[in-house]
């Protein structure tokens, strides 16, 4: 028999019997049987509220413990400001801290959705370290300037234990002193208890609730609202320096000794417009041989000039990027996204045709190679249309990569060209850029982001991020791409 909370009345009833009647449709019939059911039923008032708070303890010469697998020391504070001063809890009794498990977050394979949509996973729980140290029993220390600490229990380190269910890990702290106070509004109970954080979960918190109970954990004298605490942060240690690059012949374009030799990425050669124009009178006797599509003539026509039409002699680059992971990443529908881009020409009218036309980068899709991505399958996804923010963002993706170990080398290689459209050149003058090719593409960057599961259709919990950046031509200023060949019959300016 259940009495709803709104119908329950505080009190004691005894004895309790149950009678059986033979009723008709319109009237109560005679009593046929009487059963003695309970000796008594006692209904107490709802347990008065208590309050729970948590504060991490981080020594001044240490760093905060917040990363996967670390153990954080926490001071837990219970207050009873709503209690009447007449309340006494006789010893022995228990202070119970109930911490939720990850059972609700764990997943089994969906039987109705596509196999890739929900991978099974069991997350590590936040777990108690069963060393409990009482740091306060009573009111706050009135004089924090002295060396005398706040009052504590006689037994400052009671032997605490953990009882677990699928829903919670309950830390039971036995107390062998009466809980009593003449003013509960200032009374505090504090314990330091450490918690180990999950190793395969980030960006989440845990729920903790406090109870004051009898020694058998049967009667509840007080209960707090649940608090959320102990956020697990993305591991530290990621850096762009972990992303290294190689170009043709296996050379590092970011090394000073190599770039001084001309090692690097190059945009396609710059082509002069028609000889003899006012802007290019200094080449009146010469013709650019860049991108000529027909027989050589005294003047390169607009139809032959890639600076006008965006075609012609394209210089193909080969780039290989390696990311060395500083820490491991779990198997939780783990996805790696890489975005490579360069500076863009002026867009003009915002439409997909202009977004594509004014992107100097052209990736050779069939050239893509990937290595080290666990069990993953890697693809070149192109550039997403319909957005100015996404223009020029060449996307590569590796799905189903599984767990990635610390120090794993994640490699991506592909070939591409950088258009000459939009380049400029000034022969005379004293500006710093005069005599140099002015570039559109000054750098090429490839940024890796590794994410884990967040929903049935998305993985966006960021575990790792690092970007490799390589100069173009190869100083990024055009200095390596400017040259004259004035004695050639058909010179080219690159």
What pLDDT shows up at residue 366?
Answer: 92
Please check whether residues 200 and 72 belong to one and the same domain: yes
Residue 304 has a pLDDT of 42
Residue 334 lies in a domain: yes
Q: Does some domain include residue 447?
A: yes
Q: Are residues 310 and 378 in the same domain?
A: yes
**Burial of 474 from C-beta contacts in 10 A (0-12 / 13-18 / 19+):** buried
Residue 492 within a domain: no
Find how far residue 31's CA is from the centre of its chain. 69
Is residue 101 domain-shared with residue 131, that is, in the same domain? Answer: yes
Q: What domain range is 281 assigned to?
A: 240-481
Q: Quick one: which of 90, 81, 128 has its CA closest to 219?
A: 90
**Residues 150, 251: one domain?**
no
Q: Are residues 80 and 137 in the same domain?
A: yes
User: Is residue 350 domain-shared with residue 203, that is, in the same domain?
Assistant: no
d(CA 377, CA 370): 9
Low-confidence ranges of the chain (pLDDT < 70): 1-14, 21-22, 24-25, 29, 31-46, 112-118, 142-147, 270-313, 425-429, 433-435, 476, 478-494
Can you give the pLDDT at residue 327? 97
Task: State whether 137 and 88 are in the same domain.
Answer: yes
185: region left, alpha or beta (phi > 0 left; psi from -120 to 50 alpha): alpha
Residue 72 and residue 138: Cα distance in Å, rounded?
Answer: 25
Inside any domain, residue 491: no
Same domain, 85 and 208: yes
Residue 66 phi/psi, 5° resolution?
-145, 5
The bridge status of strand 243-246 relative to strand 316-324 is antiparallel
What confidence tens digit (pLDDT) does each residue in 94-153 have?
A: 999 999 999 999 988 777 666 556 678 999 999 999 999 999 999 887 666 666 778 999
Whether residue 56 is found in the same domain as residue 190: yes
Residue 62 domain-assigned?
A: yes
Q: Is 81 exposed, middle or buried (0-12, 13-18, 19+ CB in 10 A)?
A: middle
pLDDT of residue 162: 98
Domain boundary among 229, 263, 284: 229
d(CA 122, CA 108) in angstroms, rounded, equals 9
pLDDT in tens, 80-95: 999 999 999 999 999 9
276 in the same domain as 224 = no
Return the pLDDT at 39: 66
Given 229, 263, 290, the domain boundary residue is: 229
Distance of alpha carbon 18 from its chain centroid, rounded? Answer: 60
C-alpha span between 475 and 248 (Å, rounded):
17
Nearest to 299 by CA among 284, 318, 279: 284
Residues 6+ apart with CB under 8 A from 257: none
User: Does residue 91 fall inside a structural domain?
Assistant: yes
In whole angstroms, what separates CA 345 from the centre of its chain? 32
Examine residue 106 and state whether it is found in any structural domain, yes or no. yes
Q: How many domains, the chain? A: 3
In terms of phi and psi (left: phi > 0; alpha: psi -120 to 50; beta: otherwise), the region of 277 is: beta
Element (H, E) at 308: helix 306-309
In angstroms, the CA 105 to CA 123 distance is 7
Question: Whose structure tokens read 């220390």?
Answer: 141
Which segments of 240-291 does DSSP mark as H helices, in order?
256-259
Element (H, E) at 144: none
Q: How far apart are the C-alpha atoms of 486 and 466, rounded to whole Å?
A: 44
CATH no. for residue 213? 2.60.40
Note the pLDDT of residue 52.
98
* Nearest CA-CA partner of 75 in 230, 187, 190, 169: 190
Six token digits for residue 317: 């680059």
For residue 194, what are its two tokens? Answer: 């450490």
Residue 293 neighbours by CB under 8 Å, 6+ apart: 303, 304, 312
Closest CA to 473 of 267, 319, 328, 310: 267
DSSP conformation letters of 367-400? EEEEE--TT-EEEEEEE--S-TTTTT-EEEEEE-
Pair (247, 364) in one structural domain:
yes
Helices and strands per DSSP (H, E), number in the chain: 3, 28
Same domain, yes or no: 101 and 213: yes
Evaluate if pTM is beyond 0.85: no
Phi, psi of 447 (to 5 degrees): -110, 130
Last residue of a domain, one of 169, 197, 229: 229
Q: Is residue 300 part of a domain?
A: yes
Of 218, 142, 132, 145, the C-alpha closest to 175 is 132
């Amino acid at each position: 028999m259940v009495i709803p909370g709104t119908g329950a009345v505080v009190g004691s009833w005894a004895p309790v019997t149950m009678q059986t009647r033979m009723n008709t449709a319109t009237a109560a019939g005679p009593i046929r049987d009487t059963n003695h059911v309970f000796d008594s039923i006692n209904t107490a008032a709802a347990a008065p509220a208590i309050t729970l708070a948590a504060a991490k303890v981080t020594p001044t010469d240490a760093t905060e413990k917040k990363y996967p697998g670390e153990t954080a020391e926490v001071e837990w504070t219970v207050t009873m400001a709503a209690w009447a001063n007449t309340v006494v809890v006789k010893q022995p009794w228990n202070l119970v801290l109930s911490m939720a498990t990850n059972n609700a977050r764990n997943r089994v394979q969906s039987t109705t959705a596509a196999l890739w949509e929900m991978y099974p996973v069991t997350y590590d729980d936040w777990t108690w370290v069963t060393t409990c140290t009482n740091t306060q029993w009573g009111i706050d220390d009135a004089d924090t300037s002295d060396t005398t600490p706040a009052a504590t229990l006689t037994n400052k380190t009671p032997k605490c234990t953990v009882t677990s269910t699928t829903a919670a890990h309950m830390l039971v702290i036995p107390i062998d002193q009466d809980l009593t106070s003449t003013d509960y509004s200032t009374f505090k109970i504090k314990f330091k208890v450490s918690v180990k954080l999950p190793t395969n979960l980030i960006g989440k918190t845990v729920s903790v609730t406090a109870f004051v109970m009898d020694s058998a954990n049967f009667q509840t004298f007080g209960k707090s609202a649940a608090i959320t605490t102990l956020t697990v942060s993305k591991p530290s240690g990621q850096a762009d320096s972990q992303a290294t690059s190689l170009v043709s012949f296996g050379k590092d374009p970011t090394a000073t000794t190599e770039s001084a030799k001309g090692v690097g990425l190059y945009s396609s050669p710059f082509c002069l417009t028609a000889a003899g124009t006012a802007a290019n009178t200094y080449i009146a006797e010469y013709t650019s041989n860049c991108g000529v599509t027909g027989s050589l003539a005294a003047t390169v026509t607009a139809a032959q000039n890639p600076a006008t039409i965006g075609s012609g002699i394209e210089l193909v680059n080969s780039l290989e990027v390696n990311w060395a992971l500083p820490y491991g990443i779990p198997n939780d529908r783990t996805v790696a996204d890489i975005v490579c881009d360069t500076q863009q020409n002026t867009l003009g009218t915002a439409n997909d045709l202009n977004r594509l036309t004014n992107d100097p980068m052209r990736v050779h899709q069939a050239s893509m190679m990937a290595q080290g991505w666990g069990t993953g399958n890697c693809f070149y996804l192109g550039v997403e249309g319909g957005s100015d923010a996404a223009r020029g963002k060449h996307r590569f993706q590796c799905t189903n990569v599984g767990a990635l170990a610390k120090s794993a080398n994640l490699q991506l290689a592909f070939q591409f060209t950088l258009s000459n459209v939009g380049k400029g050149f000034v022969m005379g003058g004293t500006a710093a850029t005069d005599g140099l090719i002015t570039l559109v593409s000054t750098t090429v960057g490839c940024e890796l982001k590794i994410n884990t599961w967040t929903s049935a259709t998305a993985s966006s919990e960021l575990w790792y991020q690092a970007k490799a950046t390589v100069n173009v031509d190869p100083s990024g200023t055009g200095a390596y791409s400017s040259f004259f060949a004035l004695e050639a019959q058909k010179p080219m300016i690159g």
